[in-house]
Amino acid sequence: MTDTTGKTRISLLGLGAMGTALARTWLAAGHPLTVWNRTAAKAAALAGEGAAVAASPAEAVAAGDLVVLCLLDDASVGQALDGVDLAGRDLVNLTTGTPAEGRSRAAWAEARGARFVDAGIMAVPPMIGVPESGGYVFYSGSREAFEAHRAALEVPAGARFVGTDPGFAALHDVALLSAMSGLFAGMTHAYALVRDEKVDMEGFAGLLTEWLAAMAPFYVASGGAASEDANLEMQAAGNRTLLRTAAEQGVGSELLDPYFRLMDRQVAAGEPDAVALLRHPADGA
Ligand code: FVH
């Protein structure tokens, strides 16, 4: 449903760093916006920019055809919406959660008469409303609700619908964030190796970015499995060189150790597929 200008009436619950960035893009695009935040003072600036401020979550939910949640975690969603009438509402939950939380929150919302779409934001606040930043949001759950509000949802960032399973947005989100954590761990270790040496750090940053971009397709092509070009024994010997270098440079190996332990298990089991092994944790892991 839209107002007389053809714009969706949006209610946004949660005005942290991300919620505030989202709010500004919808206001700039001319959407009638109602906001609510637990700490009311955070709504003052947006009120000055044209947002209506709701006194309670119930008031905010009642005001929007599209109700967007951007809160800390799934528990805060439950707390904010406790006892609120959701019948006939379309809820889009941009709060980061697990796949199981997405599924149970969908069942919870549907039992209260709402359509529910879960989401995972692949962007940081400065990327919101900046199409060229490459930021986007994964959505999953009610396809009908997503399609009904696609135009409004595409205002802050690109929208990628990944299925009707409400857990899929979180699954994609968390999988990519987990990959990023490993990437950042490796980069942290690399910087620790070189930073106190007379290395051109600007040049090194370029080399690092270039190398990681070149190697990622190899992983994707093989699914991470060992191959004739990169057999397990060769990789294990290479790992020992990495560890000896860390020791020489006075750098801790705590970021590398867990991955290398998995590779040691691969060698011991003669298992080329690291993913298969990881799905069967070692005793005590
Ligand atoms: N900021 C980022 O870079 C990331 C990018 C990827 C996606 N995340 C997720 O977005 C959700 C919100 O993140 P945020 O950056 O806005 O977070 P904060 O600035 O810390 O704001 C948190 C808001 O949640 C409210 N809140 C917390 N607990 C409760 C509760 N029990 N009941 C109601 N509201 C609650 C908090 O209110 P207040 O502290 O101002 O009163 C803020 O509005 C998040 O899931 C990220 O993982 C952002």
pLDDT digits (tens, 9 = 90+) for 127-147: 999 999 999 999 999 999 999
Quote the ligand 1 centre to 146 CA distance (angstroms). Answer: 22
Instruction: Judge whether 173 lies within some domain.
Output: no
Residues 16, 148 within the same domain: yes
Residues 141, 209 within the same domain: no
The residues lining ligand 1, judged by C-beta closer than 6 Å to any ligand atom, are: 14-19, 37-39, 42, 70-73, 76, 79-80, 95-96, 121, 124-125
What pTM, to 2 d.p., does this model score? 0.92
Q: Residue 245 sits in a domain of what CATH number?
A: 1.10.1040.10
Instruction: Judge whether 28 lies within some domain.
Output: yes
Instruction: Judge whether 126 lies within some domain.
Output: yes
Quote the ligand 1 centre to 71 CA distance (angstroms). Answer: 4
Instruction: Judge whether 261 lies within some domain.
Output: yes
Residue nearest to atom 25 of ligand 1 (CA): 71
Percentage with pLDDT > 70 across the chain: 97
Residues 258, 146 within the same domain: no
Element (H, E) at 180: helix 168-194
Mean pLDDT of 203-209: 97
Instruction: Judge whether 66 lies within some domain.
Output: yes
pLDDT (tens digit per residue) in 147-186: 999 999 999 999 999 999 999 999 999 999 999 999 999 9
Q: What is the pLDDT of residue 21?
A: 98
Residues 33, 129 within the same domain: yes
Full residue range of the structural domain in which residue 85 is found: 10-163
Within 8 A by CB and 6+ apart from 266, the residues are 226, 232, 272, 274, 277
Residues 25, 81 within the same domain: yes
Residues 68, 202 within the same domain: no
Quote the ligand 1 centre to 18 CA distance (angstroms). Answer: 7
| Torsion-angle region of 111 (φ positive above 0: left; ψ -120 to 50: alpha; else: beta) | alpha
| Mean pLDDT of the chain, nearest integer | 94
Instruction: Judge whether 168 lies within some domain.
Output: no
* CB-side neighbour CA atoms (13 Å) of 92: 31
Instruction: Judge whether 238 lies within some domain.
Output: yes
Tell me the C-alpha distance between 219 and 21, whole Å.
35
pLDDT (tens digit per residue) in 226-285: 777 778 888 889 999 999 999 999 999 999 999 999 999 999 999 988 888 888 877 656
Mutate which of 72, 74, 174 for ligand 1 pocket (most atoms within 8 A of beta carbon) = 72
Residue 50 Cα to chain centre, angstroms:
29
Quote the ligand 1 centre to 94 CA distance (angstroms). Answer: 10
Q: Are strands 115-122 and 158-161 parallel, antiparallel or unpaired?
A: unpaired
Q: Residue 153 sits in a domain of what CATH number?
A: 3.40.50.720
Among residues 144, 163, 182, the one where a domain terminates is 163
What are the residues facing 90 on neighbouring strands? 66, 115
Residues 64, 199 within the same domain: no
Residues 157, 201 within the same domain: no
Quote the ligand 1 centre to 20 CA distance (angstroms). Answer: 10
What's the Cα-to-Cα distance from 143 to each of 44, 98, 125, 235, 272, rounded to whole Å? 34, 20, 26, 45, 39
Residues 112, 225 within the same domain: no
Instruction: Judge whether 267 lies within some domain.
Output: yes
Mean pLDDT of 98-103: 98
Quote the ligand 1 centre to 121 CA distance (angstroms). Answer: 12
Among residues 163, 187, 218, the one where a domain terminates is 163
Mutate which of 18, 20, 178 for ligand 1 pocket (most atoms within 8 A of beta carbon) = 18
Q: Are strands 136-141 and 115-122 parallel, antiparallel or unpaired?
A: antiparallel
Residues 32, 118 within the same domain: yes
Residues 120, 203 within the same domain: no
Within 8 A by CB and 6+ apart from 110, the residues are 116
What is the position in ligand 1's atom list of the atom closest to the CA of 19?
A: 16
Tell me the C-alpha distance between 41 and 225, whole Å.
52
Q: What is the pLDDT of residue 281?
A: 75
What is the position in ligand 1's atom list of the atom closest to the CA of 15?
A: 43
Domain count, the chain: 2
Task: Report yes or no: 157 and 137 within 8 Å, Cβ to Cβ.
Answer: yes
Residues 222, 140 within the same domain: no
Predicted confidence (pLDDT) at residue 2 exceeds the cutoff of 70: no
Residue nearest to atom 40 of ligand 1 (CA): 39
Tell me the C-alpha distance between 190 and 181, whole Å.
14
Nearest to 138 by CA among 120, 156, 124, 116: 120
